[in-house]
């Protein structure tokens, strides 16, 4: 039986092995990102990712993660001290339609909901090192399910991704009436403030900027193993009496849900909504928002997470309000690490190209490159093998090694730029970073190379309906559209800045002022209305 808020805070609840009702608790974080960079140890282990990610969680994050490596993290920015997991998402950029330049949108904050579904199964803690991916970084196609979300394989195609844009009023609507997703996003039929793809109007409701929602599957196939993110997870079926059950032989783990708030309101005065275009783009170059995705690697102490599964029903009050959590809470506001990729470019200020030289694609910009989304970048925008080593490559007389000029632009760094010489695979707690703002260069007027259509999805076991992108899948290409003259686009070159990283010694666990009271949103109403989560 569900405990009241007062009893949650006062004592532990007892929950049976098979859960007759759903419970949940929200994991919150201290501060901003743990680190940022072109790093993805799941999809691109041991090398640079094609696009920029923002990462939360344990400090032992690196270009590779194996087994229980994350449990050795010196710190975590999760509020639960024994959660050393990593959670990451592509970052969001604002593109200026006047000159095609890009500015990174700050993350306001991120929550991770832990749903413990009503089920006939025993819900078990994640095994350390379990890797899960949700969403398709390659697609620019609208979801088959339309503008709503669907996590039930018995109800239709799985659609775990959505964008939320609360507005003071919805006339005109955030998405065109009757949109099929080919030129704009698709409205959620049950929620005016939600849909598939980026909305066409600013999110102007108080304390509610653009929000990125990403649900993850909760059935783990131990035969596939921890690392096989393409085949190791599926969504549970509700065919047996409405409870969420996994296939025989699979392990029912928590259903996690990323809720990421982006400070898009900072850019409201920099664009004029016209009901046809919008200025935001993901770091992989996606102007549609359809390719929103998230990654997770478990670094939980299993006993701690199992205690939370069995006893914590704190809801939106936060997982950190549950009593007697093994290991206690983390109040570390300074758990950050340098990017595991050396020679990392500055991402501060105004940029003339997205990190990795990703071309903008979708909705009037052309299609998506076939193969992996590394085909969506210039060769000059990637990293050399030395970028994963212990020292940076020296600048040459004509510019930084591996950089080419395009349209007569000289990429040679200014005399005030400095180079970084650091490699972190499993970072340290303390690192102070000085980052110069990006150089200002006029953008050339050439159009991006034509790009073909996105890849297909890889299906999961029959009857469970889950699918995610295979980043290495191949798809026949089709000609991309040319870029309309009235749309800005990224240039085919990189503006090279260097960052200086200074190692410092930092004291641990310094008392801090109490955090400001967080604005409370009634998010669960949306989940209950759509049938994604029910207390039974």
What sign results for the dihedral spanned by CA atoms 360, 363, 367, 372?
Answer: positive
- Return the pLDDT at 522: 53
pLDDT for the residue numbered 241:
81
Q: What is the pLDDT of residues 315-367, one digit of tens each?
A: 999 999 999 899 999 999 999 999 998 655 678 899 999 999 999 999 988 66
CB 344 within 8 A of CB 461: no
If pLDDT is split at 50, 70 and 90, which confidence band does 301 have?
very high
Residue 54 exposure: Cα atoms within 13 Å on the Cβ side: 23
The tokens describing 250, both together, are 């699979």
Q: Give the tens place of pLDDT for each residue, 364-398.
A: 886 654 334 433 444 333 333 334 432 222 322 22
251-252 and 191-196: which strand pairing?
unpaired
pLDDT of residue 368: 52
Q: Does an H or E element contain 251, and which?
A: strand 251-252
What is the reported pTM?
0.72
Give the integer Cα–Cα distance in Å for 31 and 29.
Answer: 6
Q: In this structure, are residues 506 and 334 in contact, taking their beta carbons and an 8 Å threshold?
A: yes
Contact 51, 90 (CB under 8 A): yes
- Specify the pLDDT at position 526: 52
Is 80 a residue whose pLDDT tops 80?
yes
Overall average pLDDT of the 484-505 stretch: 36
3-class SS at 529? helix
Model confidence at 527, pLDDT cuts 50, 70, 90, reads low
Q: Please give the average per-residue pLDDT across 153-178, as a whole number.
A: 96
pLDDT at 524: 54
* More confident position, 45 or 454: 45
What is the average pLDDT score of the chain?
75
Q: How many CB atoms lie within 10 A of CB 208?
A: 19
Candidates 348, 416, 411; CA nearest to 381 is 411
Residue 520 has pLDDT above 70, yes or no: no
Of the chain, the percentage scoring pLDDT greater than 90 comes to: 60
CA distance 487 to 277: 9
For residue 420, what are its two tokens? Answer: 């970084």
Q: Which residue has the higher pLDDT, 180 or 528?
A: 180
Q: Is the pLDDT of residue 465 over 80?
A: no
C-alpha gyration radius of the chain: 23
pLDDT at 518 over 80: no
What pLDDT does 354 receive? Answer: 95
Tokens of 42: 């799941």
- Three-state SS for 476-497 is CCCCCCCCCCCCCCCCCCCCCC
SS3 state at 181: coil
Ranges 65-69, 470-474, 503-507, most confident: 65-69
Cβ atoms 145, 159 nearer than 8 A: yes
pLDDT at 275: 94
Q: What is the pLDDT of residue 206?
A: 86
Q: What is the mean pLDDT of residues 198-220?
A: 96
What is the chain's length?
536
Comparison of pLDDT for 412 and 33, the residue scoring more: 33
Question: CA–CA separation, 180 vs 239, rounded Å?
Answer: 30
Cα 235 to Cα 154: distance, rounded to the nearest angstrom: 10
Closest CA to 87 of 102, 65, 116: 65
HEC per residue, 71-125: HHCCCECECECCECCEEEEECEEEECCCCCCEEECCEEEEEEEEEECCCCCEECC
Res 22 pLDDT > 70: yes
Query: Is 448 within 8 Å of 488 (Cβ atoms)?
Result: no
Q: What is the dihedral of CA 320, 328, 78, 39, to 10 degrees?
A: -150
Cα distance between residue 260 and residue 283, in whole Å: 15
Question: What confidence category does residue 79 fall into, taking pLDDT thresholds of 50, 70 and 90?
Answer: very high
Is pLDDT at 434 greater than 50 in this prediction?
Answer: no
């Amino acid at each position: 039986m569900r405990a009241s808020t007062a009893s949650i805070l006062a004592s532990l609840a007892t929950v049976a092995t098979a859960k007759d009702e759903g419970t949940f608790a929200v994991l919150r974080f201290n501060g901003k990102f743990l680190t940022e960079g072109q790093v993805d140890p799941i999809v691109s282990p041991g090398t640079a990712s094609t696009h920029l990610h923002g990462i939360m969680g344990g400090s032992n994050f690196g270009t590779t993660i194996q087994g229980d490596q994350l449990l050795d993290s010196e710190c975590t920015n999760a509020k639960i001290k024994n959660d050393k997991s990593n959670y990451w998402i592509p970052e969001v950029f604002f593109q200026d339609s006047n000159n095609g330049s890009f500015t990174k949108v700050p993350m306001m904050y991120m929550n991770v909901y832990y749903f413990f579904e009503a089920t006939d199964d025993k819900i078990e803690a994640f095994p350390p090192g379990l890797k899960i991916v949700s969403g398709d970084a390659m697609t620019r196609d609208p979801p088959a399910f339309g503008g709503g979300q669907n996590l039930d394989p018995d109800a239709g195609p799985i659609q775990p991704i959505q964008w939320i844009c609360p507005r003071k009023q919805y006339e005109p609507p955030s998405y065109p009436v009757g949109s099929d997703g080919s030129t704009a996003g698709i409205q959620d039929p049950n929620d005016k403030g939600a849909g598939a793809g980026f909305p066409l109007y600013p999110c102007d409701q108080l304390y509610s900027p653009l929000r990125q929602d990403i649900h993850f599957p909760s059935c783990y196939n131990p035969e596939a193993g921890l690392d096989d993110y393409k085949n190791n997870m599926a969504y549970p079926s509700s065919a047996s009496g409405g409870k969420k059950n996994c296939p025989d032989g699979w392990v029912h783990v928590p259903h996690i849900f990323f809720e990421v708030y982006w400070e898009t309101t900072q850019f409201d005065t920099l664009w004029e909504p016209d009901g046809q275009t919008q200025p935001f783009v993901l770091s992989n170059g996606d102007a549609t928002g359809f390719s929103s995705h998230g990654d997770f690697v478990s670094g939980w102490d299993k006993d701690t997470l199992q205690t939370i599964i069995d006893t914590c029903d704190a809801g939106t009050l936060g997982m950190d309000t549950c009593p007697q959590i093994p290991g206690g809470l983390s109040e570390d506001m300074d758990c950050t690490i340098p990017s595991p990729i050396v020679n990392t470019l500055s991402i501060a200020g105004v940029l003339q190209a997205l990190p990795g030289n990703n071309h903008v694609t979708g909705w009037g910009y052309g299609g998506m490159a076939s193969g992996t989304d590394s085909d969506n970048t210039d060769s000059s925008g990637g990293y050399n093998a030395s970028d994963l080593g212990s020292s940076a490559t020296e600048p040459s007389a004509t510019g930084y090694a591996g950089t080419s000029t395009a349209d007569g632009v000289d990429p040679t760094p200014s005399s005030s730029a400095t180079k970084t010489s650091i490699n972190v695979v499993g970072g340290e707690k303390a690192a102070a970073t000085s980052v110069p703002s990006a150089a200002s260069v006029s953008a050339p007027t050439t159009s991006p190379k034509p790009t073909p259509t996105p890849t297909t999805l890889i299906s999961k076991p029959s009857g469970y309906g889950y699918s995610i992108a295979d980043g290495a899948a191949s798809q026949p290409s089709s000609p991309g559209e040319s870029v309309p003259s009235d749309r800005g686009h990224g240039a085919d070159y990189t503006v090279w800045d260097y960052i200086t990283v200074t190692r410092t010694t930092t004291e641990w666990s310094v008392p801090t002022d109490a955090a400001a009271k967080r604005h409370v949103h009634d998010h669960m109403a949306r989940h209950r209305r759509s049938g994604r989560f029910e207390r039974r």
